[in-house]
């Protein structure tokens, strides 16, 4: 086991290297500004930068916007709406990247209080994507005087935008010599803008990576400096191609520099309450984490082994769920051999849950950095499951190397994993072959060629250009080339609305099929993770119950995105006496903590009803935003059959007894009938039943959410929410 | 005996909470176990013998935020 005491510090760029970088910078434009300090979690200012014209503008955030949209994702969507029109596509100059951290973000007394939400029109879905990320940039932006940042326009050269709160300046600089890959670029810029070693922790960088120039699944890294290791580490706003938009605007990086993090920079309403709530939480983590999930030991990857026991880990592109080789890469293996223990691995100050684990001085075996030793963050559960079992890979070293290159190249690990699994299945089915892949052997488990494909993506070469498209456009391309049948690929290509699925197999949970299918941005589990409640606990057996869950959880979880909160401290650790509460799954004491934090920061008392209401306003706004951009109706909530049931014979045979039993118990066949049916007949009957169930689920969910049967929010519901804004009514009125 | 509101086919004389957890591969680290509404703590799983009319709930708490 590796302990932080034995980890050598990383080498920083030398003084000569930094001098050369400094001299190469060209200042294009610089603005002075007066920093407005925070008051009760807000500055009420938004910074708009146009990288095309190199303008920086500061405006007040109107009280009505604050009241209805709160912050975080609410602000991102509101300002994005105002910037775009129905014809705007991801690469239109008016498309914006908007980021906002939310009122609670930046406090340091409670766990998980440093998240930033980012929205843009996605190159993968053509609708707004939202993605959350840890790291320093969002909270530092608040400390620099801004509740939100909107970025518009397109630069004609690569540009770095520097917000320096210590000097009160915003500058646009050409920075031609820095590397493009995030692990080096963020290190270079951190060293360059810090006054000295001690000042590095005051620098936050946002950067994509070289593959984000070409790949729709490009993501955005946010840095956080780790003084113990002496290295700049990265967290990711992974989903939906934000990094692609960032690079299309030719932004090389954003830098935010502050004078230091202090206990009460948010100038909160009741600091004592926040402190008290935080202390209670930290004690709970210290006492219970090792007995519960061991987040401090292994991070979210703790669940890899155990989820395989429930057939939930996507295996061979979600065909199966039991990840048969998982014993080779369990959390215990990662902990024993790879992940450094004993470090304060929080992605924001004060997060005692500290799940941002790292593998130190990891030796790379491939690609441009072959032979170098680097710090690899993660892997989180999603990355490990998607890059590993879904592609038939069970070697921790290989998974870590793929994870590292995804991060530094600026690729979303979830989309990359799900997409590679799709390509591997295409290879298995003969839709792809070596001739079509330019020699890549995409057999299940072939990590070497998986990595080679990713290196090609970063170089914009060969089959990497096709991999860069993502599943949705790959299906179209393969069909156009006459390589594959569109209907068949639609069944097993795990994407919806253009976004690749995140890494849970939902076949045995109808509610989770809805948890993926009835999302705003596409199939990401952050709206609703209902598999256990449904599949195992059987707590929501009826359509009515499932619909209630698919109303409540997406709203509850949206709230974290309005506030700048990480969801993990809500339920990845629970109080010791949680079992004795009325509703243990909701972790009532933690919900109370969140209401206290909101009150402590803003001075406004709310209850859970108002919490849901705040989210519901933003949630419905996003749904209507989707409709405005051409998606967001019932037809767009259809899911690939693979997420609901077995597409191919080997998939059915894997759990034949289960499926046969369900035909009797759930679909109304007699045992004799099932016995007399061929495999194809049983598969067809299973499919019909499961597809019917999904439609019935939609019929139950839409009214619960205040939508009509086409998935359009009703005018009455918008009125009730106080969201009968003219621009929303204009969209929904013709669809009532 | 009921397990999570479904008839438990594996019921037999002398079966304990721990047996049910093992047989069903309930390996999730955060379980709340209730028998007829009463919480059973982990240290008591192996000693708690179940009866034919018992209503056992093994609630898996959510994870992943
Ligand atoms: S729980 Fe993990 S991801 Fe969430 S804030 Fe803490 S370290 Fe970051």
Residue-wise pLDDT for A674-690, tens only, equals: 999 999 999 999 999 99
Residues A174 and A157: beta-carbon distance below 8 Å: yes
Contacts of B37 in chain A (CB under 8 A): none
Ligand 1 atom with the smallest distance to the CA of A115 is 5
> How many alpha carbons fall within 13 Å on the CB side of residue A170?
20
| pLDDT at residue number B62 | 81
The H or E element that residue B3 is part of is strand B2-3
Q: Where are the beta strands (DSSP E) in A444-537?
A: 495-496, 499-500
pLDDT of A78 > 90? The answer is: yes
The answer to whether the A14-257 and A510-573+606-639+705-735 domains have the same CATH topology is no
CATH topology of domain B2-60: Ubiquitin-like (UB roll) (3.10.20)
> pLDDT per residue over A401-412, tens digit each?
999 999 999 999
| pLDDT at residue number A299 | 87
- From A26-35, A550-559, A571-580, A621-630, the region with the lowest mean pLDDT: A571-580
pLDDT of A55 > 70? The answer is: yes
Q: For A419-435, what is the mean pLDDT? A: 98
Instruction: Decide if A529 and B64 are in contact by the 8 Å CB cutoff.
Output: yes
Which of A497, A440, A429, A501 shows the shortest CA–CA distance to A466? A440
CA–CA separation, A474 and A463 (whole Å): 11
Q: Which of A296, A298, A531, A538 to mutate to test the interface with B (most CBs of B within 10 A)?
A: A538
CATH topology of domain A510-573+606-639+705-735: 1.10.599
Sheet holding A220-226, edge to edge: A26-32, A169-174, A159-164, A251-257, A203-207, A220-226, A231-237
Split at pLDDT 50, 70, 90, the class of A297 is confident
Q: For A15-23, what is the mean pLDDT? A: 97
pLDDT above 70 coverage of chain A, percent:
100
| pLDDT at residue number A108 | 97
Helix (H, G, I), strand (E, B) or coil at A31: strand
CA–CA separation, A625 and A623 (whole Å): 5
Place of tokens 């991102």: A76
| pLDDT at residue number B64 | 64
| pLDDT at residue number A136 | 97
Q: Where are the beta strands (DSSP E) in A103-257?
A: 116-121, 128-133, 148-152, 159-164, 169-174, 203-207, 220-226, 231-237, 251-257
Sheet holding A116-121, edge to edge: A55-60, A45-50, A148-152, A97-100, A116-121, A128-133
Split at pLDDT 50, 70, 90, the class of A292 is confident
pLDDT of A121 > 80? The answer is: yes
| pLDDT at residue number A528 | 92
Ligand 1 atom with the smallest distance to the CA of A354 is 7
| pLDDT at residue number B65 | 59
pLDDT of A192 > 70? The answer is: yes
Q: What CATH number does domain A271-500 carry, 1.10.10.10, 3.30.70.420, 2.70.150.10, 1.10.569.10?
A: 1.10.569.10
- From A25-39, A501-515, A575-589, A644-658, the region with the lowest mean pLDDT: A575-589
Q: For A488-501, what is the mean pLDDT? A: 98
Mean pLDDT of chain A: 97
Instruction: Decide if B27 and A292 are in contact by the 8 Å CB cutoff.
Output: no
pLDDT of A156 > 80? The answer is: yes
| pLDDT at residue number A15 | 95
Please name the residue whose Cα sits nearest to atom 5 of ligand 1. Answer: A112
| pLDDT at residue number B63 | 72
Interface subset of A 607-666, CB within 8 angstroms of B: none
> pLDDT per residue over A591-643, tens digit each?
999 999 999 999 999 999 999 999 999 999 999 999 999 999 999 999 999 99
pLDDT of A109 > 90? The answer is: yes
| pLDDT at residue number A302 | 85
| pLDDT at residue number A294 | 87
Between A370 and A303, whose confidence is greater?
A370
- Domain ranges in chain A are 14-257, 271-500, 510-573+606-639+705-735
| pLDDT at residue number A301 | 84
Q: For B16-28, what is the mean pLDDT? A: 97
Instruction: Decide if A572 and B63 are in contact by the 8 Å CB cutoff.
Output: yes
Cα-Cα-Cα-Cα torsion A565, A566, A567, A573, nearest 10 degrees, comes to: -120
Residues A226 and A232: beta-carbon distance below 8 Å: yes
Residue A111 Cβ contacting ligand 1 at under 6 Å: yes
Q: Is A560 on the interface with B (CB under 8 A)?
A: yes
- From A269-273, A295-299, B24-28, the region with the lowest mean pLDDT: A295-299
Which residues are registered as beta bridge partners of A733? none
CATH number of A14-257: 3.60.9.10
Distance from CA of A373 to the nearest CA of B (A): 30
pLDDT of A293 > 90? The answer is: no
Instruction: Decide if B65 and A532 are in contact by the 8 Å CB cutoff.
Output: no
What does the buried/exposed string (b/e) look like for A303-314 if buried means 16 or more CB atoms within 10 Å of the residue's CB? bbbbbbbbbbbb
């Amino acid at each position: 086991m590796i302990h932080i005491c034995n980890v050598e510090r990383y080498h920083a760029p030398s003084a000569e290297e930094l001098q050369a970088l400094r001299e190469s910078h060209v200042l294009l434009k610089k603005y002075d500004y007066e920093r407005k300090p925070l008051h009760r979690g807000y500055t009420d200012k938004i910074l708009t930068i146009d990288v095309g014209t190199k303008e920086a503008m500061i405006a007040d955030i109107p009280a009505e916007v604050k009241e209805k949209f709160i912050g975080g994702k609410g602000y991102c969507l509101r300002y994005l709406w105002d910037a775009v029109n129905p014809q705007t596509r991801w690469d239109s100059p008016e498309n914006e990247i908007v980021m906002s951290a939310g009122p609670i973000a930046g406090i340091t007394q409670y766990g998980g209080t440093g998240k930033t939400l980012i929205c843009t029109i996605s190159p993968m879905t053509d609708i707004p994507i939202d993605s959350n990320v840890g790291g320093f940039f969002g909270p530092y932006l608040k400390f620099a005087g801004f509740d939100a940042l909107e970025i518009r326009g397109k630069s004609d050269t690569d540009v770095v935008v520097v917000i320096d709160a210590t000097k009160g300046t915003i500058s646009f600089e050409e920075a031609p010599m820095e590397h493009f890959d995030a692990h080096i670029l963020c290190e270079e810029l951190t060293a360059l803008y810090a006054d000295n070693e001690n000042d590095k922790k005051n620098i936050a960088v946002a950067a994509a990576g070289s593959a984000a120039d070409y790949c729709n699944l490009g993501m955005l890294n946010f840095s956080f400096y780790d003084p113990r290791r002496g290295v700049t580490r990265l967290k990711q706003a992974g989903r939906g191609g934000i990094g692609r938009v960032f690079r299309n605007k030719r932004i090389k990086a954003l830098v935010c520099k502050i004078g230091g993090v202090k206990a009460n920079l948010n100038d909160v309403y009741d600091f004592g309450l926040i402190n008290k709530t935080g202390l209670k939480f930290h004690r709970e983590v210290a006492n219970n984490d090792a007995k519960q999930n061991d987040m401090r030991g292994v991070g979210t990857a703790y669940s890899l082994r155990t989820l395989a026991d429930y057939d939930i880990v996507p295996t061979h592109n979600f065909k199966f769920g039991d990840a048969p080789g998982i014993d080779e890469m369990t959390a215990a293996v990662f902990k024993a051999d790879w992940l450094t223990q004993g470090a304060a691995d929080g992605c924001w100050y004060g997060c005692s849950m500290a799940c941002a684990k790292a593998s130190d001085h990891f030796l790379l075996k491939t690609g441009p950095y072959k032979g170098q030793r680097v710090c690899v963050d993660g892997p989180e559960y999603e990355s490990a499951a998607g890059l590993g079992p879904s592609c038939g890979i069970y070697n921790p070293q290989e998974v870590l190397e793929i994870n590292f290159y995804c991060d530094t190249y600026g690729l979303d690990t979830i989309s990359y994993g799900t997409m590679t699994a799709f390509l591997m299945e295409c290879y298995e089915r003969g839709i792809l072959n070596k001739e079509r892949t330019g020699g890549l052997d995409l057999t299940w488990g072939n990590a070497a060629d998986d990595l080679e494909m990713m290196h090609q993506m970063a170089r914009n070469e060969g089959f990497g250009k096709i991999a860069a498209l993502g599943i949705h456009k790959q299906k179209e391309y393969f069909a156009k080339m006459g390589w594959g049948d569109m209907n068949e690929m639609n069944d097993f290509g795990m994407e919806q609305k253009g976004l690749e699925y995140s890494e849970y197999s939902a076949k045995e949970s109808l509610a989770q099929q809805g948890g993926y299918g009835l999302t705003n941005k596409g199939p990401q589990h952050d709206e609703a993770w209902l598999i256990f409640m449904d599949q195992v606990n059987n707590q929501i057996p009826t359509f009515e119950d499932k619909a209630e869950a698919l109303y409540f959880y997406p709203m509850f979880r949206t709230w974290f995105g309005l506030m700048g909160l990480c969801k993990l401290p809500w339920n990845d650790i629970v109080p010791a006496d949680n079992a004795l509460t009325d509703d243990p799954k909701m972790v009532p004491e933690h919900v109370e903590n969140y209401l206290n934090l909101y009150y402590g920061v803003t001075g406004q008392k709310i209850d859970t009803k108002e919490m849901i209401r705040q989210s519901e306003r933003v949630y419905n706004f996003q749904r209507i935003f989707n409709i405005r951009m051409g998606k967001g109706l019932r037809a767009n909530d259809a899911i690939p059959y693979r997420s609901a049931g077995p597409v191919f014979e080997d998939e059915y045979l894997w759990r034949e007894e289960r499926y046969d039993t369900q035909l009797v118990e759930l679909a109304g066949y007699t045992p004799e009938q099932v016995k007399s049916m061929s495999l194809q007949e049983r598969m067809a009957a299973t499919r019909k039943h499961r597809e019917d169930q999904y439609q019935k689920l939609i019929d139950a969910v839409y009214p619960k959410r205040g939508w009509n049967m086409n998935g359009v929010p009703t005018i009455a519901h918008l009125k009730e929410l106080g969201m009968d804004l003219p621009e929303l009514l204009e969209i929904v009125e013709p669809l009532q | 005996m009921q397990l999570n509101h479904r008839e438990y086919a594996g019921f037999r004389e002398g079966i304990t909470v721990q047996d049910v957890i093992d047989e069903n591969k309930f390996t999730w680290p955060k379980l709340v176990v209730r028998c007829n509404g009463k919480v059973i703590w982990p240290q008591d799983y192996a000693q708690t013998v179940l009866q034919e009319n018992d209503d056992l709930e093994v609630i898996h708490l959510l994870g992943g935020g």
